[in-house]
Amino acid sequence: MAGLGLFGATLPEKYGCAGIDNVSSGLIMQELERGDSALRSFASVQSSLVMFPIFTYGSQEQKDRWLPLLAQGKAVGCFGLTEPDAGSDPGSMKTRATRKGDGWVLNGTKMWITNGTVADVAVVWAGTGEGFRGFLVEKGTPGFSAPEIKGKLSLRASVTSELVLEDCPVPESNRLPEALSLRAPLSCLNQARYGIAWGAVGAASSCYDEALRYAQQRIMFDGPIARFQLVQDKLVWMLNEITKAQLLVWRLGKLKDEGTLKHTQVSLAKMNCVWMARECARMARDIEGANGILDEYCAMRHMQNLESVYTYEGTHDVHKLVVGADITGYEAFRTATKPTEG
Ligand SMILES: Cc1cc2nc3c(=O)[nH]c(=O)nc-3n(C[C@H](O)[C@H](O)[C@H](O)COP(=O)(O)OP(=O)(O)OC[C@H]3O[C@@H](n4cnc5c(N)ncnc54)[C@H](O)[C@@H]3O)c2cc1C
């Protein structure tokens, strides 16, 4: 992937990146996820959640050191925001960075971190008492470990990890100087979600292609199942939704290139495209009958992967609330924590 220039593809050529536009970078994500969501996840994390924050919030020294290595795939990165008790509400994170001498000491646990175990550098977000800050925690730092989470039935081709930080010393030169609040990690997630919306179109297309081929070849009741209206209904539903989703992400890319893209539009697209892809995977598996549960067909693998994609980078429902707040003016993230009495 590094050889093809796929990492941080929209970043400037002076860092060894491809410097391409946003529609082209979206197409990269679409084609990677046509293969497998895990492959796209790897590229999303490396590009949007590691290279983007270093490029946007890092010092010149951090950019010069890390961006060429990450672009060439000579270094792998991960992004640690989520914690065991802080998922949809990252503001409730418990990881803390405390000043010590000229540097910092980090304590806390991050959970569900893509690439964690294989990463050379982790972008870790922590509270400081003066707001949230981002730190580059390097592999081998004392007190830092990244055990792999085993037993996943989804994104099996992706490494997912815990990040454990126990009195972990991090120099001030490894703090991202321009990241001064939770807005910074949220802006990174917005970049990644843009790629996820495109990627989901690839997964859906892969399922549609396979289901169409299967329906044309599978003989039942003396002819191909593609001749049944109920099967055609499913195939047409998929084609219709994929076409609309493709237009949606293409338009998103144009707005991103113009610099007018709003994060709520990205939420709407992530929500729609991943839901659409999940439905397509289920329909494709259905058309493929019993064969559809085999790993030699892609539908069930995509379906299982898309369960993670539906949840990560903001769950489907959380994005619904983001859009809901935007159109109504009422935020529905927090409601009463106890039932009212009487
Ligand atoms: C394979 C995988 C890879 C991941 N990679 C990374 C990574 O690299 N870095 C990282 O930082 N994180 C990563 N994550 C974490 C991911 O972003 C979180 O799982 C996600 O934010 C949801 O958090 P949660 O799992 O704690 O669910 P919760 O927040 O506990 O949500 C559980 C359910 O409650 C619902 N819910 C929550 N709040 C509300 C609300 N206000 N209103 C209505 N419903 C609500 C949700 O929609 C969901 O249905 C990854 C997750 C997975 C599965």
| Stretch 81-101: mean pLDDT | 97
334 CA closest ligand 1 atom index: 41
* Residues within 6 Å of ligand 1 by CB: 45, 79-82, 87-88, 112-114, 155, 160, 308, 311-313, 315, 317-318, 321, 333
Is residue 101 left, alpha or beta, with left meaning phi > 0 and alpha meaning psi from -120 to 50? Answer: left
Helix axes 37-44, 183-217, angle to 10 degrees: 160
Provide, rounded to the nearest whole percent, the portion of the chain with pLDDT above 90. Answer: 97
pLDDT tens digit sequence for 3-24? 999 999 999 999 999 999 999 9
- CA of 314 from ligand 1 middle (Å) equals 6
Whether residue 341 has pLDDT greater than 70: no
Whether residue 221 has pLDDT greater than 60: yes
Measuring from atom 16 of ligand 1, which residue has the nearest CA? Answer: 312
154 CA closest ligand 1 atom index: 1
pLDDT tens digit sequence for 245-266? 999 999 999 999 999 999 999 9
- CA of 310 from ligand 1 middle (Å) equals 9
- CA of 315 from ligand 1 middle (Å) equals 6
Whether residue 91 has pLDDT greater than 70: yes
Cβ neighbours for 139, distance < 8 A, ≥ 6 positions apart: 119, 120, 121, 122
Whether residue 342 has pLDDT greater than 60: no
Give the C-alpha separation, 50 to 340, whole Å.
44
- pLDDT of res. 106: 98
Measuring from atom 42 of ligand 1, which residue has the nearest CA? Answer: 333
- CA of 140 from ligand 1 middle (Å) equals 28
Our mutation pick for probing the ligand 1 site, out of 39, 82, 310, counting the most ligand atoms within 8 A of Cβ, is: 82
The answer to whether 69 and 60 have CB atoms below 8 angstroms apart is: no
SS3 assignment for the chain = CCCCCCCCCCCCHHHCCCCCCHHHHHHHHHHHHHHCHHHHHHHHHHHHHHHHHHHHHCCHHHHHHHHHHHHCCCCCEEEECCECCECCCHHHCCCEEEEECCEEEEEEEEEEEECHHHCCEEEEEEECCCCEEEEEEECCCCCEECCECCCCCCCCCCCEEEEEEEEEEECHHHECCCCCCCHHHHHHHHHHHHHHHHHHHHHHHHHHHHHHHHHHHCECCCCEHHHCHHHHHHHHHHHHHHHHHHHHHHHHHHHHHHCCCCHHHHHHHHHHHHHHHHHHHHHHHHHCHHHHHCCCCCHHHHHHHHHHHHHCCCCHHHHHHHHHHHHHCCCCCCCCCCCCCC
Q: What mean pLDDT, rounded, does the chain reach? A: 97
- CA of 327 from ligand 1 middle (Å) equals 23
Give the C-alpha separation, 73 to 165, whole Å.
25
pLDDT tens digit sequence for 264-291? 999 999 999 999 999 999 999 999 999 9
- CA of 12 from ligand 1 middle (Å) equals 32
- Residues catalogued as catalytic: 313
Q: How confident is the model at residue 337 (pLDDT cuts 50, 70, 90)?
A: confident
Our mutation pick for probing the ligand 1 site, out of 39, 40, 88, counting the most ligand atoms within 8 A of Cβ, is: 88
Give the C-alpha separation, 203 to 181, whole Å.
34
Our mutation pick for probing the ligand 1 site, out of 153, 311, 337, counting the most ligand atoms within 8 A of Cβ, is: 311
116 CA closest ligand 1 atom index: 8
Whether residue 340 has pLDDT greater than 70: no
321 CA closest ligand 1 atom index: 42
Is residue 16 left, alpha or beta, with left meaning phi > 0 and alpha meaning psi from -120 to 50? Answer: left
Whether residue 155 has pLDDT greater than 60: yes
- pLDDT of res. 170: 98
Measuring from atom 38 of ligand 1, which residue has the nearest CA? Answer: 88
